[in-house]
Structure 1
Amino acid sequence: MQVEEVTDHIKDMLERIAEDMDTSQTNAEQEKKSKGNKALKSRETKAASEHGAQRVELGFDIMQLSSEFRALRASILRLWAEKIRAENWETDFHDMIRFNEAIDEAWMISLDHFQQKLDQSKNWFLGVLGHDLRNPISAVYGAQAILKLSQNLSEKEKGILQRSDFSLKRMTELINNLLEFTELNLGRGVVINRSLIDLSEHSEKIVQEIQLAYPKIDITIDTTDNIKGKWDASRLEQMMTNLITNAIHHGEPGSPVKVNLNSKEGQALFSVHNQGTPIPEGIKDKIFTDRFTNNNEDTTKEKNYGLGLYIVKEIVEGHEGKIELTSTQEEGTTFTVALPIH
């Protein structure tokens, strides 16, 4: 990239700032601008936004980007101060206020697009990483399948193989969640492909598969027969898997997990219940976000709920449904999903 390409934004930004300063401004508009609420036109933001995005490509960090704007402000104010005449000080003072408002606005726009570009680059990296991790995982699965065919394994070796199988399944879940997360954060959202399915059959199948993966956990299901509707089968299976495995990982070790599926008032109600330390009231809404980590005050250790619940919420909302959480010491923890039956 040429030096001229890097510095061209300064000229464009200063021209936009000069135009802004020449435009009349009411006190109400000034207040909105100070709070970052001004509705800017695309031509006013283009130079600043391109500048921020370009700085990511050049390897700048956020402090270096900010230093550019501070240096630009200081240079212009210093040159301006040298030309101030006593008879025009009130006009110059007013113009300096407008200049500072405008440069701050350009700075914030540039920072915003710098962060957006940085997040996009990070998400692309995570997506590539997730896909690349699948190949070695598949190779280990293949090696395990061969070992399981052996008739000469001792009980100790069978136990080691079973534990490694558990770890592989957990790693696969994490990789799938990582890939789903990058899809969501790249703006693609959850794609829902509806078809007529029997939700009871799918829920029973998922419980059976998870039971095989976690033979030491008692997973029960109580379901009403023939709950049919137009949903995305693979997405709902993903939702069920995340909720059930979440209950296994975060519930009381070895405690049973209860799954329930029924219908009421035109909705399919799917719930997963487990016993264990209750989820505090203050974090129940935050637990479905993509960056939630809870600091457990009792143990001073972090309890990370991962990306699973965030993905579950996106899938549920993609089906125009709702998810609720109840959690107490006496009753345990229950996640309930309500899906409209179409």
Structure 2
Amino acid sequence: MTKQQGHRRLAEFIRENQAAIVAEWTDFARTLSPASDKMSKLALEDHVLDILGFVADDLESAQTPREQFDKSRGKGPTNGPFSESAAEIHAALRLADGFDIDQMVSEYRALRASIVKLWLTNHEALASTDLQDLTRFNEAIDQAVTESVAHYTKTIDNSRNLFLGVLGHDLRNPLSAVSMGAQWIERSGTTSLKQAKVVSEIRTAAGRATQILNDLLDLTRSSFGTEIPLARTKTDIASLCQQIADELRVINPDRRFEVVADEGNTTGHCDPARLGQVLSNLMGNAVQYGDVSSPITVRLSLSDPEIITLAVHNLGTPIPIELQKMIFQSWMRGQDVKNPAEQGTHLGLGLYIAKLIVEAHGGDLSVASNEQTGTTFSIRLPRS
């Protein structure tokens, strides 16, 4: 491009220099790795010409002060319920190509900067109408960004709901059928010890798959910014601890479980099912990683009248210091030195979800582990 002889309004400049603008857009989009690594030039350019056309048309359209005020806040006119704007289509395609929302928005920042730079480079001096054009231009870009972000997040929400629906219904139903069928066979009796063992393994596998499904549902809720739902009620937490210990005794008859509670009021306002999930996870970990010759102890402390403290303790190989710093992150799991073959049956979500549940109650979950005193997971919950 060379310096223009006559003064050009911004809309006219955009139409005359689309090739240069698109080239800069494509060069920038190609830097947004890894999403853009295998995309063609045509895919990278996407709907930029349509977006440029929208901006140019908008600059040349009549606009009331109220319309200008609304657009300055990203509230421009919509395309109706049955049509999508170029910005919305761009958002859908970028999402499908693996761009995150920050990368998509950064494309608009680059587009804004490119157009302003090229336009000012080709101006000897600004005319009285240029400030108005720049203001209108920024409003049009803001509207396109708003449409893209809204469509991107709406698509993500729809995908989340579909994902949760498939997990929560389409997979849970067949798993429940498998589990109930195995239980019915067990109650009806089997003809051989081998058949009884197979049926038991089917029931155990279905239960494990159901637990993985529950963990994934909880993880999905947290990943999409939705808190794990709680149904709080007045609960005797000491009795809840004893109930979970009793359940684990049935599954692990060779292990000892001890529940110790301070004297006093052991009731709190919590979700018993969710808190039971946390206790079952912590006590189950103690079974898996703890010393088989020593008991697993759950101690309930009432030293603070406003706080209930639960400590799940076991002796055995301590958790390494470096792992203690990451153990509550998703997809992290300890090394099962006793049952390495079982290592692949756990997703490493249990402690992460346990921490989410405790935090949803307004509490905190921590760990202390060393060779001398063993491993203790501590839960601090507000009583009310």
TM-score range, shorter chain: 0.5 to 0.7
Structural RMSD (CA): 4.9
Determine helix, strand or coil for the equivalent of 2:166: helix
**How far apart, CA to CA, are the structure 2 residues paired with 1:134 and 1:230?**
30
Task: Report the equivalent of 2:358.
Answer: 316
In 1, are the aligned partners of 2:71 and 2:142 still within 8 Å (CA)? no
Summarize deviations over 1:210-258 as a string: whole Å, max 9, x none: 3323445443333346512322222222222232233334556897533
Deviations 1:86-137 (A, max 9, x none): x89xxxxxxxxxxxxx9x9999999987885675455334312321211111
Work out the CA distance in 2 between the residues paired with 1:202 and 1:327.
25
Question: Which of 271, 276, 282 is the aligned partner of 2:311?
Answer: 271
Contact map agreement 2:244 2:276 (CA 8 A) in 1: yes
Residue of structure 1 aligned with 2:222, choices 167, 180, 184? 184
- How far residue 209 of structure 1 moved from its aligned partner, in angstroms, is 1.9
Deviates more, 1:115-124 or 1:332-341: 115-124
Alignment of structure 1 residues 9-48 onto 2, 5 Å: 11=54, 43=72
- Matched with 2:381 is 339
Which residue identity lines up with residue 57 of structure 1 in the other structure?
Answer: A
Q: Which amino acid aligns with 2:324?
A: K
Q: Which runs of 5+ in 2 are unaligned?
A: 1-45, 60-69, 77-84, 127-138
Q: 1:65 to 1:336 in 2, by over 3 A?
A: closer
Task: Select which of 348, 360, 364 maps to 1:306.
Answer: 348
Residue matched to 2:97: 61
Aligned counterparts of 1:51 and 1:198: Cα–Cα separation in 2: 58
- 1:273-292 matched pairs, under 5 angstroms: 273-289=313-329, 291-292=330-331
Mark the CA change 1:52 to 1:7 in structure 2 (over 3 Å): closer, same or farther.
closer
The structure-2 alpha-carbon separation of the partners of 1:71 and 1:209, relative to structure 1 and needing over 3 Å to count, comes to same
Match runs of 1:1-342 below 5 Å: 7-8=50-51, 11=54, 43=72, 55-58=90-93, 60-62=96-98, 65=104, 72=111, 76=115, 80=119, 83-85=122-124, 120=157, 123-131=160-168, 132-224=170-262, 227-251=266-290, 257-266=296-305, 267-289=307-329, 291-293=330-332, 306-342=348-384
- The percentage of counterpart residues that share the same residue type is 28
Q: Partner residue of 2:13?
A: none
Evaluate the alpha carbon distance shift between residue 165 and residue 73 of structure 1 in structure 2; reply closer, same or farther with a 3 A threshold. Answer: same
* Aligned 8 A contact 1:221 1:259 in 2: yes
Shift of 1:177: 1.9
| TM-aligned CA distance change 1:138 to 1:199, over 3 Å | same
Please give the alpha-carbon distance, in whole angstroms, between the structure 1 residues aligned to 2:320 and 2:123: 60
Partner of 1:26 in structure 2? none
Per-residue deviation, residues 157-187 of structure 1 (Å, max 9, x unmatched): 3333333333222222211122223333444
Shift of residue 333 of structure 1? 2.1
CA 1:60–1:46 in 2, change beyond 3 Å: closer, same or farther? farther
Residues 265-304 of structure 1, C-alpha deviations (whole Å, 9 max, x = no match)? 2132212223454333344344334x343697x99x9997
Structure 1 residue 73 displacement after superposition: 6.6
**Hey, which of these two has a bigger chunk of helix by percent?**
1
Mapped to 2, the partners of 1:13 and 1:117 lie a distance apart of 27
Query: Separation in 2 of the partners of 1:232 and 1:69?
Result: 45
Change beyond 3 A, Cα 1:129–1:214: farther
SS at the partner of 2:302? strand
Give 3-state SS (helix, strand or coil) of 2:379's partner: strand
CA contact (8 A) 2:311 2:378 kept: yes
